[in-house]
Structure 1
Amino acid sequence: MKRLLIIALALTFSNGVFAQNSAKAKALLDEVYDKVSSYDNIFIDFKFELYNQEANVRQETRGDLTLKGDQYLLNYLGAQQLYDGKKVYTVVPENEEVTIEDKSEDAGTVSPSKMLTFYRQGHNYAWDILQNVQGRKIQYVKLTPIDSNSEVASILLGIDAETKHIYKLIETGQNGTKTTITVNSLKTNQPLSSALFNFDVEKYEEDGYYIIRN
């Protein structure tokens, strides 16, 4: 899946002020993590935007994601991806293909299951702007990867100051590509089918899908 990216702020503060802002930003992110971790499951309806001015590329679409622990079900760009805790299954109806692979261990990617908690490791934090979005106070925290070889330049994480839910993620890559994910709605502790994260390979084989096992 797409990686999540953002723009880095120039460090114009004194060391003491930066340390204060960093601690405040980390404290807010810890609140977000505690809130997210308290839910049995989460459903997110989101808008995805990708823009690269130099390459004249602009893409916009919507998707939805259901999370329960590490398991997830993602509908995006006409495809569906499911992780049952062991394998990742990607279904592309347009090509009548199913790809089955082990969970990616690439540290440079943010999997759907880590979308709301990825910031816990590998970043420096800085307090950023506060925006009013239709009466909601959205506080931004700027994340800069510690790894100097990261393809991500920076990430802006917009957090609803009242609910402590993530509202927006803006990622800027080293190549200038800006990816924005906006949460249109977020529901928690929904009644889920016990079979939601089960994948029936035989069903797709019977329907004539080509099965790719990596």
Structure 2
Amino acid sequence: MKRIILVLSVFLLTANVFSQDASKAKALLDEVAQKVEGYSNIYLEFNHRIDNYDADVHQETLGSVNLKGEKYHLNYMGTEQIFDGTKTYIIIHEDEEVIIQKASNNQNETLTPSKIFSFYKKGFNYQMGELKNTKGIKIQYVKLTPIDSDSEIDNVMVGIDSRTKHIYTIIETGKNSTITTLEVRTFKTNQPISEKLFIFDEAKYRGQKNYTISEPN
């Protein structure tokens, strides 16, 4: 009986420690999200890297994005993406083409501009990770593990600048061994930008530039 009580006590103590750790991890992510919500807009320059060592795939690209609430204007890999809150306009200059898409409800998407500061809120378990010193910056990592066992994501590591409480890096590891890393190089807030930045000018691309515009059903 004493042995059973001892094992039960250790189990309850361990469960309590894990619960406190999860609460601490989520509280830190909430602090980051609340701080971001206080900005009228955000400008990011970032490095986006995809690695799969089994398949010998290594790809690295620089990009930039303006964010205002859920709206964004992204420049990445020679294309522009404008999300006006309802639709995404993908402008492929090389092909002189614009593809219009409705907003996605895919919960498995994490590294998208609209969800970068909020994706953690649904579908994940939380755990505090390591505190690392990167380029003289103290980065506190939080590990997110999908609740859905069928998710294509194995885990997501969110690195947070301990001083500014801004996201420094997001590292997503897929179950197919693909590692997708987003590293923030520049973080600016409350910039003087025009609302037109988040509006697709159809007359400009259909008329002046004569781009092909398609909107799949």
TM-score (normalised: structure 1): 0.91
Q: Matched residues in 1 for 2:156 and 2:123: separation?
A: 12
Deviation at 1:202, TM superposition (A): 1.8
Deviation at 1:208, TM superposition (A): 2.2
* Unpaired segments ≥5 residues, structure 2: 1-12
Map of 2:145 onto structure 1? 144
The residue type paired with residue 69 of structure 2 is: G
Map of 1:24 onto structure 2? 24
Q: Matched residues in 1 for 2:17 and 2:213: separation?
A: 55
* Unpaired segments ≥5 residues, structure 1: 1-12
Map of 2:59 onto structure 1? 59
Q: CA RMSD in A?
A: 1.3
Structure 1's consecutive aligned runs of 4 or more residues displaced over 4 angstroms after TM superposition are: none
Question: What count of residue pairs does the alignment treat as equivalent?
Answer: 202
Deviation at 1:108, TM superposition (A): 1.8
Q: Matched residues in 2 for 1:130 and 1:38: separation?
A: 26
Q: Matched residues in 1 for 2:105 and 2:30: separation?
A: 24
Q: Percent identity?
A: 50
Map of 1:191 onto structure 2? 192
Deviation at 1:104, TM superposition (A): 1.2
Q: Matched residues in 1 for 2:64 and 2:92: separation?
A: 16
Alignment of 1:83-162 (within 5 A): 83-110=83-110, 111-162=112-163
Map of 1:202 onto structure 2? 203
Rg larger in 1 or in 2? 2
Describe the SS at the equivalent of 2:85.
coil
Q: Matched residues in 1 for 2:65 and 2:53: separation?
A: 28
Q: Which structure's residues are more often helix, by fraction?
A: 2
Q: Matched residues in 2 for 1:85 and 1:169: separation?
A: 23
Q: Matched residues in 2 for 1:57 and 1:28: separation?
A: 33
Map of 2:79 onto structure 1? 79
Structure of higher RCO (CA pairs closer than 8 Å, 6+ residues apart): 1
Deviation at 1:158, TM superposition (A): 0.2
The residue type paired with residue 212 of structure 1 is: S
The residue type paired with residue 59 of structure 1 is: Q
Describe the SS at the equivalent of 1:195.
helix
Q: Matched residues in 2 for 1:161 and 1:132: separation?
A: 10
Q: Matched residues in 2 for 1:121 and 1:105: separation?
A: 12
Map of 1:178 onto structure 2? 179
Q: Matched residues in 1 for 2:15 and 2:195: separation?
A: 51
Deviation at 1:194, TM superposition (A): 2.7
Q: Matched residues in 2 for 1:101 and 1:147: separation?
A: 27
Deviation at 1:195, TM superposition (A): 1.2
Describe the SS at the equivalent of 2:176.
coil
The residue type paired with residue 21 of structure 2 is: N
